[in-house]
Structure 1
Amino acid sequence: MTHEVRGVVAKAKGAPVSVETVLVPDPGPGEALVKVQACGVCHTDLHYREGGINDEFPFLLGHEAAGVVEAVGDGVTEVEPGDYVILNWRAVCGQCRACLRGRPWYCFNTHNAKQKMTLADGTELSPALGIGAFAEKTLVAAGQCTKVDPEASPAAAGLLGCGVMAGLGAAINTGGVTRGDSVAVIGCGGVGNAAIAGARLAGAAKIIAVDIDDRKLDWAKGFGATHTINSSGTDPVEAIRELTGGNGADVVIDAVGRPETYEQAFYARDLAGTVVLVGVPTPEMRLELPLLDVFGRGGSLKSSWYGDCLPSRDFPMLIDLYRQGRLDLDAFVSETIALDEVEAAFTKMHHGDVLRSVVVFP
């Protein structure tokens, strides 16, 4: 059986997205059909539209999603129809060298659904991050579904599927923030503010937010920043050092992903401190640092892929914290919108007007 649904499609590089009829097949072996309840508008979706990921147009956009499993294919044991799930884009294989060494968050063989969703004329769609959740239903690998507490709001829970998990994980998993640490976060959009929330959860004593937009710095205070720096008129390296006894922060998280912000993060950390890059750079960007400084400052320079998360471990835990009132996922939801408002949401995101617009399905 084929399911006819509405979905947001990017047909050509830079062209406005459109709502199209999408044909979704029943799940085959190892696959799950999910009725999407909510999906966040992430900057990665805009990257797809702009051709910044690859040129495999047309794309079925959307990936930060929560919904209910409607059907599963043969061999699926992880979930069953009726399960409330968050979708993830790193369904681990369990067999690659990373998985076998006990580091499944680095899985080298993550997988997606094998069958293709199509437009009404049969044109195959490339689902964003193997998910394609700006649609009433989507087809994914069963391992991309993580069962969580069904009492959690879909609009909030779905954000763990990408940006919020990336930021939280950058602080907790990659950065190893712990009690009493000083932490600086450069860039206070959705990912950066999630890193701030993660640092607070981990018990950081001092959390310094850095941005060029006072509005975003105000948001950062709400997520747990103890100090803010507007770097449009202040040297952030010197300001972070001044706030940390002249030493620099124990962990500095670059949630922007540009050479200049990475250099700031590098010099704003304490000796033997940690830099975490979670902002995604573009292919043409290059970084130049004196190798002697890299050697002499010691510590760790890390990249955070999806917050180095393991969805089966992290999603239920974070949803429990949300349900306990210890993690305010609702605060990341700036607005809820309809499916045909995604293009307008991209504009708001580009202007920095929102943390997250979230498509909510009736």
Structure 2
Amino acid sequence: MSDNVTFDAIVLKELNKPLELVKGIQFPDLKKGQVLVKIYYAGLCHSQVMEARGHRGQDPYLPHMLGHEGTGEVVAVGEGVTKVAPGDHVIMTWIKGSGHEAGGCCYAGPSGETINSGGVTTFGEYAVASENRLVKKPEGIPFDLGVLLGCALPTGAGIVLNDIKPEKGATLAVVGLGGIGISALLAATTFDPERLIAVDIEQSKLDLAKEFGATHTFHAAHDDWEAEILALTDGKGVDHAVEATGLAEMIERAFNVIRPGGGELVFASHPKAGDVIRLDPFELIKGKQIRGSWGGSSKPDRDFEILADLFRQGRLPLRQLLSDTYTLETINEALEDLENRKIIRALIKISEPPADAA
């Protein structure tokens, strides 16, 4: 399966405690539909922050591995796997595509303890992934940028491309400019909106949104952005809004700026377990619409190539979405920086990819 006898990976052992780098994890035998991947890069998003901080409630799978977006190379495949083969370069994603759903995996730790994992994990030198969580890496996509295809890009851009599909000349607001929000904004620029409005609490992200094509930006802490957006639209509100802050309050406020009679809010937020949103039902009667989006309704085997093509055309400047680069040893620093909004997306470099691979 591998020339290595064991490998190292990040493990969440206790909620609200630092993640631990566990050395000497044993490779399991591959089951039907499973694939062993050598990981080059992983991405870190707010889902991992929520898991580590216990914001999703009780976690019955502790201890377990983490990470749901990455890039790597297939080392070995289990029975029935036909989608990928040893030597293939792949995108690892939590969004299910074609192929076997092989479920999770159990590893043996250095002392024989069981370490759980889901259908895909990426915070380790190697991982066993379900076949349907892998897509061959599109040509022209570097391994580091490829991690964005695993979560942020298909979710954020997918909300626009698959869920909203705005008409040319529409008005659109993006509330929250993390990896998902900024990806939604980038995708929205390809539809030539009349107004593309960005809202965030970090001025650096607002500046980036302006560079990417936002026509108006509002600082969430300083501007009366709801009133400003309504004023920009002659009191009507925007045709479409994307909310990606992870805060229930911001979902409610984003709902306030969509127009009656068909205005739509789509959100991909993960508020803390137990949080609820409160809306005036009369606004729904007036024709406002709200819905959540699961991974931007993306189909990885189809959409990754579409997104890669937009990148190759120069219409998705992905390089600026990645902030600092971290390692497995500094992953807790990456968690803190992401939690404190210092970065858009953390890149975890795990091993050196092939020099000539793009």
**Same fold? TM cut 0.5:** yes
CA RMSD after TM alignment: 1.9
Match in the other structure for 1:176 = 165
Question: Which among 305, 308, 317 is matched to residue 297 of structure 2?
Answer: 308
Higher mean alpha-carbon deviation, 133-142 vs 264-273, is at 264-273
Partners of 1:125 and 1:178 in 2: CA distance: 48
Match in the other structure for 2:55 = 52
Matches within 5 A, 1:73-88: 73-88=78-93
Counterpart AA for 1:266 = F
What runs of 5+ residues in structure 1 fail to find an aligned partner?
Answer: 95-109
Closer, same or farther: CA 126–329 of 1 in aligned 2, 3 Å: farther
Match in the other structure for 1:280 = 270
In the TM superposition, what is the alpha-carbon distance from 1:357 to its structure 2 partner? 1.7
In the TM superposition, what is the alpha-carbon distance from 1:114 to its structure 2 partner? 4.6
Partners of 2:29 and 2:191 in 1: CA distance: 42
Q: Does 1:290 align with 2:283?
A: no
Match in the other structure for 2:130 = 141
What runs of 5+ residues in structure 2 fail to find an aligned partner?
Answer: 353-358
Partners of 1:118 and 1:218 in 2: CA distance: 47
Closer, same or farther: CA 138–180 of 1 in aligned 2, 3 Å: same
Higher mean alpha-carbon deviation, 230-239 vs 111-120, is at 111-120
Match in the other structure for 1:29 = 32
For residues 270-323 of structure 1, the C-alpha deviation after alignment (integer angstroms, 9 at most, x for no partner) is 221111111111222122222122111x14211011111111111122122222
Tell me the TM-score normalised to structure 2 length: 0.90
Question: Which among 62, 74, 77 is matched to residue 67 of structure 2?
Answer: 62
Matches within 5 A, 1:109-148: 111-127=101-117, 130-148=119-137
Percent pairwise identity:
32
Match in the other structure for 1:107 = none
Partners of 1:256 and 1:329 in 2: CA distance: 20
Contact 1:148 1:319 in 2 (8 A): no
In the TM superposition, what is the alpha-carbon distance from 1:28 to its structure 2 partner? 2.1
Closer, same or farther: CA 342–269 of 1 in aligned 2, 3 Å: same
Match in the other structure for 2:356 = none
In the TM superposition, what is the alpha-carbon distance from 1:40 to its structure 2 partner? 0.9
Contact 1:174 1:302 in 2 (8 A): no
Aligned residues: 345
Tell me the TM-score normalised to structure 1 length: 0.89
Q: Does 1:250 align with 2:244?
A: no
Match in the other structure for 2:95 = 90
Q: Secondary structure at the match of 2:106?
A: coil
Partners of 1:74 and 1:112 in 2: CA distance: 11
Partners of 2:290 and 2:156 in 1: CA distance: 16
Contact 1:157 1:329 in 2 (8 A): no
Closer, same or farther: CA 287–66 of 1 in aligned 2, 3 Å: same
In the TM superposition, what is the alpha-carbon distance from 1:199 to its structure 2 partner? 0.7
Q: Secondary structure at the match of 2:75?
A: strand
Partners of 2:153 and 2:106 in 1: CA distance: 28
For residues 154-181 of structure 1, the C-alpha deviation after alignment (integer angstroms, 9 at most, x for no partner) is 1111122112321111222122223221
Partners of 2:329 and 2:201 in 1: CA distance: 31
Closer, same or farther: CA 273–247 of 1 in aligned 2, 3 Å: same
